Amino acid sequence: DTGVSQNPRHKITKRGQNVTFRCDPISEHNRLYWYRQTLGQGPEFLTYFQNEAQLEKSRLLSDRFSAERPKGSFSTLEIQRTEQGDSAMYLCASSLRGLGDSPLHFGNGTRLTVT
Amino acid sequence: QKEVEQNSGPLSVPEGAIASLNCTYSDRGSQSFFWYRQYSGKSPELIMFIYSNGDKEDGRFTAQLNKASQYVSLLIRDSQPSDSATYLCAVMDTDKLIFGTGTRLQVFP
């Protein structure tokens, strides 16, 4: 169990640029989640996958955001035409099964700063 | 959308005291509740989860659930300075967690 891995740890970009983040879940975990957290707030749900299927997307996720999980392993989160309001910590988490009997494990996050 | 409310704090307690953290939730049908700890600049880590009414104990931590009043509590006995962190309460909504804003706990020597 090497934990949930996220890359990069930090990303600074200019407004209007596209960015992509990667998440590698714990091996054999079939659930993968993306959350966003800003200072002083709790994590906000963005989307989640069961294997390669994206099962739910939050209304927070505008059409500038897209997430994929090809082959049910790693996942990417892309933000197009970034805005300053996108500045946040993007957290990835995984669980072995449903949350009813399998805890959610978070990665260390990718901190995005949009200038 | 289910909501979770927490006092942002900070809650300051002396070392060795009991810290009591509270959380209320909006959906009476909620059944699963989680407490996460988050150190500054780090990611959340699970402390405890609780499904049924009453108390659940794990070491110095006790989670209490009162469904009739729709609140969840976390008690930390013999608080240590290393317990200083933000404590996040979360409710399970279908297959995702809805988090509160967190309560910042400060344990002073």
Among chain A residues, CA nearest to B102: A42
pLDDT value, residue A72: 87
Subunit contact B99:A91, Cβ cutoff 8 A: no
* Matching residue, tokens 């307690």: B13
Check residue A14 and report its DSSP letter: -
pLDDT value, residue A81: 97
Query: Taking CB atoms and an 8 Å cutoff, what residues of chain A touch B52?
Result: none
Subunit contact B99:A106, Cβ cutoff 8 A: no
For the CA atoms of chain A, what is the radius of gyration? 13
Yes or no: say if B44 and B104 are a contact pair by the CB < 8 Å rule.
no
Give the distance from CA B31 to its chain's centroid.
15
* Dihedral pair phi/psi, residue B19, rounded to 5°: -100, 130
Measured between alpha carbons, how far is A88 from A74 in angstroms, rounded to an integer? 21
**Residue among A43, A48, A50 whose CB faces B44 most closely:** A43
pLDDT, tens digit (0-9, with 9 covering 90-100), for A56-96 = 999 878 899 999 999 889 999 999 999 999 999 999 999 98
**Residue among A40, A106, A107 whose CB faces B101 most closely:** A40
Beta bridge pairs of residue A13: A114
Q: Which two tokens stand for residue A4?
A: 């949930």
* Matching residue, tokens 């906000």: A44
**By three-state DSSP, how is residue A91 classified?**
strand
pLDDT, tens digit (0-9, with 9 covering 90-100), for B2-44 = 899 999 999 999 999 999 999 999 998 888 999 999 999 999 9
**By three-state DSSP, how is residue A51 classified?**
coil
Distance in Å, alpha carbon of A51 to nearest chain B alpha carbon: 14
Asked if the C-beta of A96 comes within 8 angstroms of chain B's C-beta atoms, the answer is no
